[in-house]
A and B are shown apart, each in its own frame.
Chain A
Amino acid sequence: MSSATRSLRSALTIPVTVFFFAFLWSIPASAQDLLIRGGTVLTITNGDLPDTDVLIRDGKIAEVGQNLSAPEGVRVIDAQGQFVMPGIIDSHSHMGVDRGINEGSRSVVPEVRIADVIKHDDPAFFTALAGGITSIHTMHGSANSIGGQNESIKLKWGRPWEELVIEGAPMTLKLALGENVRRSASANPTRYPRSRSGVAEVMRESFQKAQNYLSAWEKYETDQAAWDRANRRSRGLAPLPPKRDLQLEALADVFDGTSILRVHGYRADEMAMMMEVADEFGIPPGVFEHALDAYKIAPEVARYGWATSVFADSWGYKIEAYEAIPYKMLIHYESGVRTSINSDSAERVRRLFQEAARGVKYGGLPENECLKMITINAAMDMGVEDRIGSIEVGKDGDIAIFNHYPLHTPARVEMTIIEGEIFFDRSQTDVAANWVLDSDSGKETP
Chain B
Amino acid sequence: MPRPEINRDRSMLRRAFRQLLPALAVVILFSASEASAQYEGRTYAITDARLVTTAGQIIETGTIVLRGGLIEALGAEVSPPADAVLINGEGLTVYPGFIDAYSQAGLVLPDRDEREYAGNIASQLATEYFDPASSDLAAYRKQGLTSALVTRSDGVFGGQAVLMNLMGDDIPSMTIKAPVVQAMGYQGQSGYPGTLMAVVAYQRQTLIDAAYHELLQTRYGQDPRSMARPPAEPNLEELIPVAKGEVPVLGIVKMENDFKRLRKLAEEYNLQYWIAGAEEAFRVPGLIEEAGVPVLVSLDFPSIAEVTGYQFDRAYKNLTKEEKEALDERDEAAVQSNAAAVFNAGVPLALATGGMSSVGDFVKNLRLAVEAGLPAQEALNALTVTPATIFGVADVLGTLEAGKIANLTVTSGDIFTDEEAYVAHVFVDGRKETFEKPKPPSAGGGGAVGGSWAVSVSVGGMEADGTLTLTQEGETVTGEFAIEGQTTAFEGTYAEGTLELAGSSPDLGSITLKATVEGDDMTGAIELGPMGSAELTGKRTPGTADSERRVER
- A contact set with B: CB distance below 8 Å: 97-106, 109, 111-114, 116-121, 123, 126, 140, 148, 157-158, 160-162, 236-237, 240-241, 243-247, 428-431, 433, 435, 437, 442-444
Contacts and interface: CB of A to CB of B under 8 A. Distances in A.
Of the listed residues B201, B212, B306, the one surrounded by the most CB atoms of chain A closer than 10 A to its CB is B201
Contact of A100 (B197, B227, B256): B197
Interface stretch (B81-89, B171-179, B309-317): B309-317
Interface string B180-202: 00000000100111111110110
Contacts of B192: 103, 105-106, 109
Given A119-B257, A237-B226, A158 B312 contact: yes
A240 to B, nearest CB: 6
Given A158-B309, A237-B223, A435 B196 contact: no
Contacts of A244: 208, 212
Nearest to A122: B311
B442 to A, nearest CB: 38
A429 B319 CA distance: 10
17 contacts: A98-B196, A102-B195, A104-B194, A105-B198, A109-B198, A111-B201, A117-B200, A148-B197, A160-B256, A244-B212, A246-B204, A246-B208, A429-B318, A430-B316, A431-B316, A435-B314, A444-B311
Given A237-B222, A243-B212, A100 B196 contact: yes
Contact of A437 (B195, B212, B315): B315
B218 to A, nearest CB: 10
A22 to B, nearest CB: 31
B29 to A, nearest CB: 50
A112 B208 contact: no
A103 B318 contact: no
Contacts of B197: 97, 99-100, 103, 112-114, 116-117, 140, 148
A121 B188 contact: no
Interface in B275-315: 305-306, 308-312, 314-315
Of the listed residues B195, B208, B216, B222, the one surrounded by the most CB atoms of chain A closer than 10 A to its CB is B195
Of the listed residues B227, B314, B316, the one surrounded by the most CB atoms of chain A closer than 10 A to its CB is B316
Given A121-B309, A245-B205, 4 more contacts: A103-B194, A112-B195, A116-B196, A117-B197
Contacts, number: 121
A142 B194 CA distance: 16
A121 B308 contact: yes
Question: Lowest 9 A-B CB distances belong to which pairs?
Answer: A100-B195, A99-B196, A158-B312, A105-B192, A116-B200, A430-B318, A103-B198, A123-B311, A111-B201
B133 interface: no
Given A102-B195, A103-B193, A435-B316, A243 B222 contact: no
B198 A433 contact: no
B72 interface: no
Interface size class of B (residues with CB under 8 A): 35 or more
Nearest to A162: B260
Interface in B209-236: 209, 212, 215-216, 219, 222-223, 226-227
B8 interface: no
B316 A126 contact: yes
Contacts of A237: 219, 222-223, 226
B258 to A, nearest CB: 9
Contacts of B316: 126, 429-431, 433, 435
Of the listed residues B212, B219, B311, the one surrounded by the most CB atoms of chain A closer than 10 A to its CB is B311
Contact of B311 (A104, A140, A442): A442
Contacts of B188: 99-100
B198 A243 contact: no
A120 B257 contact: yes
B334 to A, nearest CB: 15
Contacts of B318: 428-430, 433
A413 to B, nearest CB: 14
A240 B219 contact: yes
B201 A444 contact: no
A253 to B, nearest CB: 15
B553 interface: no
B432 interface: no
A381 to B, nearest CB: 21
B261 interface: yes
A378 to B, nearest CB: 23
A430 B260 CA distance: 33
A438 B387 CA distance: 40
A435 B198 contact: no
A159 B196 CA distance: 21
Contact of B305 (A118, A240, A443): A443
B182 to A, nearest CB: 21
Contacts of A97: 197
Interface string B120-131: 000000000000
Contacts of B216: 240
B226 A161 contact: no
A379 to B, nearest CB: 24
Of the listed residues B191, B194, B222, B227, the one surrounded by the most CB atoms of chain A closer than 10 A to its CB is B194
Contacts of B310: 121
Nearest to A129: B316
A157 B312 contact: yes
B309 A112 contact: no
Contact of A103 (B195, B205, B215, B226): B195
Given A105-B194, A433-B316, A435-B315, A246 B201 contact: yes
B312 to A, nearest CB: 4
A437 B197 CA distance: 24
B451 to A, nearest CB: 40
A433 B223 CA distance: 73
A101 B197 CA distance: 8
A128 B68 CA distance: 68
A246 B305 CA distance: 37
A161 B219 CA distance: 42
A429 B188 CA distance: 38
Contacts of A106: 192
Contacts of A442: 306, 311
Contacts of B317: 430
A120 B311 CA distance: 11
A437 B311 CA distance: 8
Contacts of B223: 236-237
Nearest to A106: B192
B219 to A, nearest CB: 6
Contacts of B305: 443-444
